[in-house]
Structure 1
């Protein structure tokens, strides 16, 4: 929900772990996943590896952080289900003793309760999650996460990508926060005279459709063609081979992408005076428009266009929060009418310019090489839904995401990454050690979601 009036500053939401709330959520979760999120079941691979780590944690030998892929908003709930339901059963199966609860302290973005509602903040707090602002140096949030990693009664869990991209088989570049937390944990343990192992555990999450619905997918593309003023492509009924179907659908997505891109180029050139190249590949033009959208927001907030796309995105979002949730306004303070009107106007303009960042964030749908590389129903569906998200943003952003069928989830536990083995490198060059560990984690996660990943030990439970 968009805030329309000036607000007092955002407060830190401290984790207040409550076992009753956790137990209730664990019982409700299977039904919530099945009926609200339309997830039929979750398959987990190599869970024995996770069970052994939990046993080592509960024995005081190891502290670890689960670094999980984050393509969709459903990932934390699926991981929550893994820890609450699949992990205990697999541990029992392999005679690995574990104490209840098998849970984790999740690190979440402080902005989530702003759009998900105040209940989300209350709930996250009660299940032991801790918030952090990604767009600034959040000392309070970092201290909380750091303390929980070194001293908490549960392991940690965090998504190192920084933002969603909607693609199960394509990752963003990782942010260095997870690697830095690992080294901080090791440092804090040494200061206490403790010598537990510190480990980062990569976990992959991929989504599949139970029954590919090509007809529904084609109808959704037709809707997008209509929304963009294009003539609907009528697929010949003789398209019976996979190759012919894939070719037609891919060409329709490419046509849509070029059409949307052309409209956005005209939009930012004519109305925001952003210079854009007239020629180039789809990806080159896409990145130019994405940069124009970010530049538009950055100019309004007085920010310099520095860093990666994700870093720029976080700074823009943080600047917007600073202008909506004002540090210079006390919660109990009543502003004079004129001053309040000006403050509310700033909020209105801030939301408008924040829209440019949200739009740029949704541009992943224009990367058509994702389906050309591997034309599965899942990739077609993900790309089409991302395109729908771009169109929905341009139309006003009020529609509910289309339903293309029930999904199932595959979670794969990767091989643990030792922080302790990299401690000497950290002591000699901290920045380089953090960067190297981040790159190693990136490759590990990319390997897990790769189709060539070795056949693991699988267990599947119905939600």
Structure 2
């Protein structure tokens, strides 16, 4: 989460990938440390073990890739910010180890290019752009209808680079290990473009998309820490803290679930009143509605407040609307229409700063909505696990933190040591689908849509 913006900024420049083997090697050496102690404060609970299922599939694909027989894209689930580190561990440690055990000869490096959100460098700093560039990463502006430079570069790398490419088809992390958000069509489209580019170059490689699932589990369920976190959220929100004897239920999970629902209802009620009173939004007091219905209505209201300010229509699902608002907001802040910000006279500079600051404030409504796009009413009810409780509480923590401290986003509490499980799915042949889809433009669009649906099904089935 970037700090509050109070002045106009220069345009966001594209950061070209400059894969550097020295940076890559050093990162591989430091990877176990990064996994355990990714953020401050030090000595926090991180990831202590990473397991991979069907890693031999990837080892074989890398061998075929290096032999010039196939091209492939890794389409990985993106539930949270630790996923890239886990994918890096998979490729740099697990796949080479499995290949050695199975007698599969691989050349160094076993690595991949990857797409990342350009906005990450805004809250993390310019150093992250430098680092990702040297690791082979490409920034993409998610809200743009067509980020031509990023897409063209990704297309070129997919067809011609000496290593594959990895993309999160959900477009961002949704905070849920066991829910796959709607997929964006970019991954499928890249696959078809790659086949097309190979045919034009009279090359015979087969193109695959490889679904990869990433999930997390606690080594020991941290129920005591979850209880304390829930209590902290109650206090921070202004809700009175209830003791266990005031609630019904025999198990700690049942009691905590009741407290979680009570907290959610309270926060939603407060936000409804906030939008009624200060943004003049029509939100009828309807206590008969389910919590999830009220949440969705509230999310729609928050997006409308921002859309009305930027004068854009409400189109698509919550994720689509968030992406469009991000790009429009950035156009007010990172001004491509100003050649030199410092050459502006004070009057025009003041106006530009004013617009940038107000745009940043309006976008904060969208950021709140963005955190809740995958929240469902039944996620915890279906399985009252520590993992699902933790994911839901951390989403609420993020929301309260964004509102409570606009200048600095507090680090998430580390609840306990975790294991990551990565599952490699069956590679999906894009080449076969390409030849079947030849005809008119409508057939091609349908093929991209169908491949996206099939990929979503495969990722859903990989969840355990």
Both structures adopt the same fold (TM-score exceeding 0.5): yes
Aligned residues: 448
- Determine if the alignment matches structure 1 residue 419 to structure 2 residue 430: yes
Structure 1 residue aligned with 2:56: 48
Structure 2 residue aligned with 1:117: 125
- Determine if the alignment matches structure 1 residue 215 to structure 2 residue 217: no
- Counterpart secondary structure, 1:108: strand
> TM-score, structure 1 length as denominator?
0.93
Contact kept? 1:162, 1:310, Cα under 8 Å: no
Give the distance between the partners of 2:159 and 2:374, measured in 1 at CA. 39
Give the distance between the partners of 2:176 and 2:158, measured in 1 at CA. 29
Structure 1 residue aligned with 2:455: 441
Structure 2 residue aligned with 1:459: none
Structure 2 residue aligned with 1:311: 320
CA deviations on 1:181-208 (whole Å, 9 max, x unpaired) are 0000000000001121100000000011
1:65: how far off? 0.4
Contact kept? 2:247, 2:258, Cα under 8 Å: no
Structure 2 residue aligned with 1:273: 280
Structure 1 residue aligned with 2:267: 260
Give the distance between the partners of 1:399 and 1:118, measured in 2 at CA. 20
Give the distance between the partners of 2:47 and 2:322, measured in 1 at CA. 30
Contact kept? 2:181, 2:374, Cα under 8 Å: no
Give the distance between the partners of 1:29 and 1:60, measured in 2 at CA. 29
1:231: how far off? 2.1
Contact kept? 2:8, 2:333, Cα under 8 Å: yes
Q: Which consecutive residues of structure 1, in runs of 5 or more, have no partner in the other structure?
A: 452-463
> TM-score, structure 2 length as denominator?
0.93
Structure 2 residue aligned with 1:458: none
- Determine if the alignment matches structure 1 residue 405 to structure 2 residue 416: yes
CA deviations on 1:131-177 (whole Å, 9 max, x unpaired) are 11111111111100000001111101000001221110011111100
Worse-superposed segment, 225-234 or 151-160: 225-234
Cα gap change, 1:277/1:65 in structure 2, threshold over 3 Å: closer, same or farther? farther
Give the distance between the partners of 2:341 and 2:231, measured in 1 at CA. 52
Structure 2 residue aligned with 1:430: 444
Structure 1 residue aligned with 2:173: 164
Contact kept? 2:76, 2:213, Cα under 8 Å: yes
Structure 1 residue aligned with 2:368: 359
**Which residues of 2 match residues 232-271 of structure 1 at below 5 A?**
232-236=241-245, 244-271=251-278
Structure 1 moving runs of 4+ over 4 Å: 236-239
Contact kept? 1:103, 1:155, Cα under 8 Å: yes
Give the distance between the partners of 2:80 and 2:251, measured in 1 at CA. 30
**Which residues of 2 match residues 196-207 of structure 1 at below 5 A?**
196-207=205-216
Give the distance between the partners of 1:23 and 1:264, measured in 2 at CA. 48
CA deviations on 1:434-455 (whole Å, 9 max, x unpaired) are 1100010001001101x3xxxx
Structure 1 counterpart of 2:31, from 26, 29, 49: 29
Structure 1 residue aligned with 2:310: 301
Contact kept? 1:150, 1:185, Cα under 8 Å: yes
- Counterpart secondary structure, 1:36: coil
Give the distance between the partners of 2:142 and 2:247, measured in 1 at CA. 51
Q: Note the aligned Cα RMSD (angstroms).
A: 1.8
